[in-house]
Amino acid sequence: SSDACQVDCQNGGRCIGQNRCSCMYGFGGPKCESDLRTGPCFTQLSNYQCKGQLIGVVCTKALCCATIGKAWGNPCEKCQTESYPCRRGYILNAQGNSCQGLCVGGRCINNIGSYVCECREGQRQNLLTNLCEDINECGEQRGACQNGLCVNTEGSYFCECHNGYEHGPSKTQCVPVRKNLCFTKIRNSQCVSAIQNARYSRSDCCCKHGGNGWGDRHTCHICPLRESNEYLTLCQLVEPLTIGKTGESCQRHGTCLNGQCHRVGRKWKCQCYTGFQNVNGSCIDIDECLNNVCRRGECTNTDGSFICTCSDGFVLDKDGRTCTDMNECEKENMCPNGVCQNMNGSYKCRCNPGFRQSPNQQVCYDINECVNNGKLCLNGACHNTPGSYYCECKRGFSLSPDGAFCV
């Protein structure tokens, strides 16, 4: 009955019962919404002709168009310039009806037949979810932060040193506290007026005993200015960075998706990676394509960046933003039997005598004078040659001075 067939079957599917569709070959899903067909992937589309087929690659239209493809299938189907159904670099998750990134939080790099996900330093890709996830160095690196407490952060980690230890050249190691002289005055960049009969650590000297310099009489380390970030760190006046399961800020949880936790004064805040902006404490991707960053090209937004794709006849400049004319005439043998003339986004051939242009003006064909001019080689036989011809006269005849007929 009509009541049984109210489902909207897609892609040529036919309703065969209540909420049931019979799908065309190559389609699936409750409403035949999933295109499961596989075919060749093409990287170029010019004058409605597909070019640049990826050799040995057979994939779905969604995967082709989400990565490097401009067209797909046999017969060829153009990839939609708008989202299909997701923007480039993303593919539809039919179960969640949402767009899922091929490489979430990292950089998707296309290669022949597949792609690789390049995560940021301190991250690796989760093969099940495609997410670039933080590496917990504190849990994976044996011996991390010996003589201290290891604190994991997004993309890195640091150590909170035990009493009697201090940070080494980096904040990822704790070394025994060195004790030296504490000086109350600095004169001509030299430490003078040492506190007598005592040696202190640098933090005790600069933070507790009012010192202005620490070291010995040959090597002087000037104490940092009060309220500077270095002073707050040295004197341990910064609020601690605590770790939680999930959250909105570095202060509460020590995590920052698409950014890193940094100290600003006495607080921890999220500093976003390039290509992201801080919106209410979260690092959100900036759509650079809204600012017309691609000159004379097509812009595709990606996580944290963008890609400029140039039209046929143009190449991308080193700045990654400008499409400049490709001088095809610099290539060898672009116009055999003619002279190559470069044009904006293309080229044409100026043909040598005896040759004519093809309809697109990019090939020089030989003119068969023997066919085109029936009056040539009268009283003889006409023989065509590349760019010219010659007459072979009958017995008793000789070639005219211009070589065009026999007398």
- Please measure the distance between the N-terminal and C-terminal CA atoms of the chain and give it in whole angstroms: 92
Contact present, 40 and 30 (Cβ < 8 Å): no
Contact present, 310 and 295 (Cβ < 8 Å): no
Q: Which residues of the chain have pLDDT under 50?
A: 1-2, 96, 240-249, 251-253
Q: Which domains does the chain have, with CATH numbers?
A: 38-102 (3.90.290.10), 137-176 (2.10.25.10), 180-235 (3.90.290.10), 256-286 (no CATH), 289-325 (2.10.25.10), 328-366 (2.10.25.10), 367-406 (2.10.25.10)
For 65, phi then psi, to 5°, come to -75, -20
Q: Could you give the CA distance from residue 340 to residue 402 in angstroms, rounded to a whole number?
A: 30
pLDDT at 393: 93
pLDDT, one tens digit per residue, over 315-341 is: 888 777 888 887 878 877 778 888 998
pLDDT at 315: 80
Print the SS3 string covering 226-290: CCCHHHHHHCCCCCCCCCCCCCCCHHHHCCCCCEEEEEECCEEEEEECCCEEEECCEEEECCHHH
pLDDT at 243: 36
Q: Could you give the CA distance from residue 159 to residue 114 in angstroms, rounded to a whole number?
A: 40
pLDDT at 333: 76
pLDDT at 104: 65
How many Å is the Cα radius of gyration of the chain?
A: 37
